[in-house]
Amino acid sequence: MNAIELTDTGKTFGRVTALQGLNLSIRAGELTALLGPNGAGKTTAISLMLGLAAPTSGLVRVLGADPRRGDVRARLGSMPQESAVPPALSVREAVTLFARFYPAPLGVEDTLRLADLQAVANRRAGALSGGQKRRLAFALAVVGNPEVLLIDEPTTGMDAQSRLAFWDAVAQLRATGRTILLTTHYLEEAERAADRVVVMNAGRLLADGTPEALRAQAGGARVRFTSSLVLAELRRLPGVESAVLDDHGHADLRTRTPEALLGELFRQGTELRELEVSRASLEDAFLSLTRPQEPLSAQGVSA
């Protein structure tokens, strides 16, 4: 079953088109990362899935129905980018209060543990640090025991340890079969955690697949080194898909056949310094997908 279904969905705000013709099906139990540059339409898509706004065109279905229905919204959990919790409430009071809004909530103490908030359970919400506030927002998103969890930029403002604890909690929730969709600008986190990555830009879907599939789209490997080769020579190397050369002679090449490329460089006897070969990352794929399209003549040294 699809937990979330957007069919030819559009959303405009006056003259601004936030989403256009978006088609997206998220299967139940899937952990999906929604990626895109600022203004791509990610938050707008989530607000439609949460039933907070109506699409201008097309259809939005969550758990098989219109998410603006109260009975559907009760089965969803939301962690917005910014959440307003009454500052005078303690963390435990806020979680207890939110639990009352739902028919079959998780236990308050279990929720505090899941969100790694036990140590600050008695602290006033208004006195929390930025990262603790994000963890409280996460606790409030999950306390209702949601079937579908929609999370907007969860780890922004969290330190390294909080991030680890957060991803651990997400893994625990996922293991119980929940559908989780999250946006993030931390691509290495998406790469590690998500079953599926959806890339949006300018309100449209650009790519959709497993992190491995998207990485493969970016080209298999990056080969970097410093040498005296000029751009035309770099481009003539076997299997080069793109080449960038800076003023200091640092070359950055993309290729699916790094062995052949290095073999040719060694055969030519080219003197290489600072040689690095790495797998193309999801970030490479993301950047190549979302890079503004320029006419060929304006692309400078990038092949």
Ligand X SMILES: Nc1ncnc2c1ncn2[C@@H]1O[C@H](COP(=O)(O)OP(=O)(O)OP(=O)(O)O)[C@@H](O)[C@H]1O
Q: Pick out residues in 116-145 that bind ligand X (CB under 6 A).
A: none
Minimum CB distance to ligand X smaller for 40 or for 193: 40
How far apart CA 20 and CA 204 sit, in angstroms, is: 6
How many residues sit in the footprint of ligand X (CB under 6 A)? Answer: 11
Q: Contact region for ligand X (CB under 6 A) — 11-19, 159-167, 210-218, 246-254?
A: 11-19
Q: Pick out residues in 50-69 that bind ligand X (CB under 6 A).
A: none
Phi, psi of 15, deg, nearest 5: -90, -5
With binding defined as CB under 6 A, does residue 18 bind ligand X?
A: yes
With binding defined as CB under 6 A, does residue 43 bind ligand X?
A: yes
With binding defined as CB under 6 A, does residue 101 bind ligand X?
A: no
CB of 84 to ligand X, least distance (A): 17
Minimum CB distance to ligand X smaller for 124 or for 185: 185
Minimum CB distance to ligand X smaller for 18 or for 79: 18
Minimum CB distance to ligand X smaller for 46 or for 143: 46
With binding defined as CB under 6 A, does residue 15 bind ligand X?
A: no
Q: Which residues bind ligand X (CB under 6 A)?
A: 13, 16, 18, 36, 38-44
